[in-house]
Amino acid sequence: MSEITSISLKRLNNGAHFAFHTDVLNAIQKDKKVSKKVAAELQVYQSAFKVEDEALAISRKSFLTDEIKKADDERDDLYTGLKNSIKAFGSIPDEKTKQACRVLTQLLKDYRINVQGQLNQETGLLTNLVADLQGKYKAEVATLSLGDLVKALRDANERVRIAMSERHDNNSTKTVGALKKARVASDQAYAQIVKFLNAYALTEKTTDYDPFINVLNTIIVYYKREGMGLKVIAPDGGNGGTGDNSGYSEIPEAPEPMV
């Protein structure tokens, strides 16, 4: 008879943790005898894992990302429009207009804003630029009748700043907490199935569960090696093993990964 070996799932990072439970669930569902034997526990496991899947997706892409992209695209278009407008006014044969164009053109050169660059950097530079355009260079902006364009640029840039701040708050509190809670639930559901299968294999005195247990132990060995940086030696010298815990040795090769 085989026995499912242990694994410390807390040591897996979020991606590896998700992948581990995906592999385990697939293995259970492929084995009809096992999936039928632990049908009730499997349902709990699947429900818990679904919550983890959703929490992980949210942690990777906040709902505010779409709002940030929309506002960022808008401010990029407005900034490009501002540059083109200033350039276009330079062809008007009026000295006051030309002087305003020269001043504002130099101002934009000084800021060297890259609309394809890092979001935080662009946000900060545009905040300062708009402050200059509405303050120190207010007269030049008025000369070229660019006040509404500058205001629209300020509003779009502010939407990006606020959305980024809110996304950071969500990711650093609610989202992280939800994912941590979901991971614990998945682990508990998995542990319950392991407990039942090991008990069935022992009390029923049958080898019917051995094929599945060996598959699961192979998965466990893989994640100990690849997900935790452990050197795991199976008792048979292979990748799977009989499930006898006494035959496994774990030698740390790397620091414990961040969860």
Res. 256: pLDDT tops 50: no
Q: Output the pLDDT for position 249.
A: 34
Query: How much is the average pLDDT of 32-59?
Result: 92
> What is the percentage of the chain residues whose pLDDT exceeds 90?
64
CB 222 within 8 A of CB 22: no
Query: How much is the average pLDDT of 77-104?
Result: 94
Q: Output the pLDDT for position 246.
A: 34
Mean pLDDT in the chain?
Answer: 85
> What is the percentage of the chain residues whose pLDDT exceeds 70?
83
Exposed/middle/buried for 210, CB within 10 Å: 0-12, 13-18, 19+?
middle
Query: How much is the average pLDDT of 112-127?
Result: 91
Q: Residue 175's pLDDT band (boundaries 50, 70, 90)?
A: low
